[in-house]
Amino acid sequence: YDRQENFPPGPVRLPVYGGYWILLAKAFNDLGRATMRLAKEYNTKIVGLYLGPLPQVLVNDSELIKEVLIREEFDGRVDTVLGRARCYWKKLGIFFTDGFFWHTQRRFSLRYMRDFGFGRRCENLEDAIQHDVKEMIDMVKNGPKNDIEKKIVNGDLIYLPHFFDVPFINGMLHVFVNTTLPRDKYPMLWNLGKNSLIFQRSSNDLGGALVITPWLRNILPNYSGFNDLTSGTKALYDFYGDLIRNAMDTFDETHERHFIDMYIKKMKEEMKEKQRTTYSVEQLQMICTDYTFPAASATEMVLTMIIERMLIQPEIQEKVHEEIDRVVGRDRLPTLDDRDKMPYTEACLRECMRFDTLVPLGVPHRALSDTKLGGYTIAENTSVSVNLMNLNLDVKVWGDPQNFRPERYIANGKVQASLDKSLSFGAGRRLCAGETFARQGMFLVFAIFMQAFHVSTADGKPLKDRAKRIQGIITSIPEFWVRVSSRS
Ligand code: HEM
């Protein structure tokens, strides 16, 4: 139970779990804050501890965080049960792979998803998102059509975060299969949204006890989160399995209909030329799954947290309404062309992601070789996490981090990217692959929704405090009903 030489300071290495429980004991259910407390206790910018046999480094300093994200020798991922249990113990997808495989698959997917609107401005994709938000607004204004819709919209109450699922998940379908599901199929999308949230909540930033002691899955499959981890992903994995099988059955190499066709074509070509390839049907299924589960949970959660914030600070809602009325009016829907002209609305989204760090310790990276960081020695295969929460709450960076103040990003009437020092989507080669889709989608959905509605609490009383946060791969808040009243 020795520590490696010149390993960053941190809690002792206990049997089995190493320092994991000591970290949890610092702030149970809040690993970002726990890391900040450990860093203070050991008076260090980098905490070193062991998760069972795995050396884990927690970087708690704004400058060093950037350094880790940008240096390529930290571009690896740790191979854990979290990545493997999702796809029958194979190492597939984008999130939890690394090296040549990851690089090839990430580059190909981003390059060709772009042809179908992902990661850039695209009128067709924007129209599809707009259409689905309008359907959801209609569901409130004209009432739900059946009992399943009533689980999301009931009178003037809407159920968050799932009220926001459809435009984001259909947006991804638009990219992958060039079509979207119509309103009578929305229940399928809500099911994917619910399962994505189950997956997100099955674990935490460091993978939880299951990563350290994977055998827990055999004796405590429920309690360890294993069942939620697998069932949460399986819904998406199977959903895409059907779509891909259908695309393969009707595949015509002279006519590519969508991203899935482009992928199948590339896979067939490589097999023919080289007889071996990183492209496979299972990998395609995991690519679709990896891009969709955040689109079916993270973006909705940010919008849910913004709504909660507006219930606590009603003046924010007034300012958003004022901006929408001034820039867009009531006669047309907001579009992405309005984004530049609506700095307050855009700044609300940025401030929400800073104030409530969605992925407090990021997604762990892995050192690909022996190296140095902040004067300490980091051995190959060490897991390296960056405390984005510490960056987001750093007084030296923000001055008044405890205040929710969207104005902090605005100068000369515009949002200035240079004033946003948060790294909500990471940086470097592992930068969130969905950043542009997420930022554009959140702006569009939020602006269209706020043009249509005024929000208030379900019980009519002012909201005093924010809900308890649920730690997971992303931090979430419990589902809740919100009252909306039409503004037209
Ligand atoms: C508000 C919403 C979101 C936030 C705050 C967010 C944040 C992040 C962060 C912090 C990472 C890890 C970066 C790292 O390893 O250092 C990440 C990775 C990733 N995100 Fe997002 N994300 C969001 C939404 C999305 C959406 C909507 C998609 C897909 C449409 C997406 C796709 C991905 C993928 C595929 C990766 C893995 C990249 C890789 O390992 O190469 N994310 N995201």
Backbone φ and ψ of 465, nearest 5°: -125, 160
- Which atom of ligand 1 approaches the CA of 364 most closely? 15
Gap between the Cα atoms of 140 and 135, Å rounded: 9
Structural contact between residues 245 and 200, judged by C-beta atoms closer than 8 angstroms: no
Residue with tokens 């927690």: 58
Gap between the Cα atoms of 73 and 367, Å rounded: 6
What's the confidence (pLDDT) of residue 384? 98
Gap between the Cα atoms of 164 and 141, Å rounded: 16
- Interface ipTM: 0.99
**Is pLDDT at 18 greater than 90 in this prediction?**
no
Look at residue 400 and tell me if it is in a domain.
no
Examine the domain organization and report whether 18 and 122 are in the same domain: no
Among 413, 357, 436, CA closest to 36 = 357
Total tally of structural domains belonging to the chain: 2
Examine the domain organization and report whether 162 and 111 are in the same domain: yes
Look at residue 86 and tell me if it is in a domain.
no
Range(s) of the domain holding residue 298: 92-359+405-486
**Is pLDDT at 87 greater than 90 in this prediction?**
no
Closest C-alpha to ligand 1, atom 40: 95
Closest C-alpha to ligand 1, atom 43: 432
Look at residue 87 and tell me if it is in a domain.
no
CA distances from 399 to 62, 388, 394, 396, 404 (A): 14, 17, 8, 6, 12
pLDDT tens figures, 53-69: 899 999 999 999 999 99
What's the confidence (pLDDT) of residue 21? 84
Q: How far is the CA of 473 from the centre of ligand 1 (A)?
A: 11
User: Residues within the annotated binding site for heme?
Assistant: 432
How much is the average pLDDT of 196-213?
85
User: Residues within the annotated binding site?
Assistant: 432
- Residue 11 binned pLDDT confidence (cut-offs 50, 70, 90): very high
- Residue 217 binned pLDDT confidence (cut-offs 50, 70, 90): confident
Look at residue 83 and tell me if it is in a domain.
no
Examine the domain organization and report whether 181 and 312 are in the same domain: yes
Examine the domain organization and report whether 354 and 370 are in the same domain: no
Examine the domain organization and report whether 470 and 376 are in the same domain: no
**Is pLDDT at 1 greater than 70 in this prediction?**
no
Look at residue 397 and tell me if it is in a domain.
no
What's the confidence (pLDDT) of residue 390? 97
Examine the domain organization and report whether 257 and 123 are in the same domain: yes
Closest C-alpha to ligand 1, atom 4: 425
- Which atom of ligand 1 approaches the CA of 365 most closely? 15
Examine the domain organization and report whether 197 and 308 are in the same domain: yes
pTM: predicted TM-score of the whole model, two decimal places: 0.97
Q: Which of 102, 200, 432 to mutate to test the pocket of ligand 1 (most atoms within 8 A of CB)?
A: 432
Closest C-alpha to ligand 1, atom 17: 432
pLDDT tens figures, 21-39: 888 888 888 999 999 999 9
What's the confidence (pLDDT) of residue 129? 98
349's CB contacts (< 8 A; 6+ apart) are: 302, 306, 439, 442, 443, 446
pLDDT tens figures, 132-181: 999 999 999 999 999 999 999 999 999 999 999 999 999 999 999 999 99
Examine the domain organization and report whether 314 and 446 are in the same domain: yes
pLDDT tens figures, 392-418: 999 999 999 999 999 999 999 999 999
Instruction: Work out the percent of the chain whose per-residue pLDDT is above 90.
Output: 86
Look at residue 211 and tell me if it is in a domain.
yes
Examine the domain organization and report whether 61 and 166 are in the same domain: no
What's the confidence (pLDDT) of residue 204? 83
**392, 416, 437: which is the final residue of a domain?**
392
Examine the domain organization and report whether 370 and 447 are in the same domain: no
Closest C-alpha to ligand 1, atom 32: 434
CATH number at residue 367: 3.30.43.20
Examine the domain organization and report whether 455 and 471 are in the same domain: yes
How much is the average pLDDT of 267-285?
94
Give yes or no for residue 94 CB within 6 A of ligand 1: yes
How much is the average pLDDT of 79-88?
87
Average pLDDT, the chain: 95
Gap between the Cα atoms of 110 and 477, Å rounded: 30
Q: How far is the CA of 221 from the centre of ligand 1 (A)?
A: 27
158's CB contacts (< 8 A; 6+ apart) are: 140, 152, 481, 482, 484
Examine the domain organization and report whether 96 and 209 are in the same domain: yes
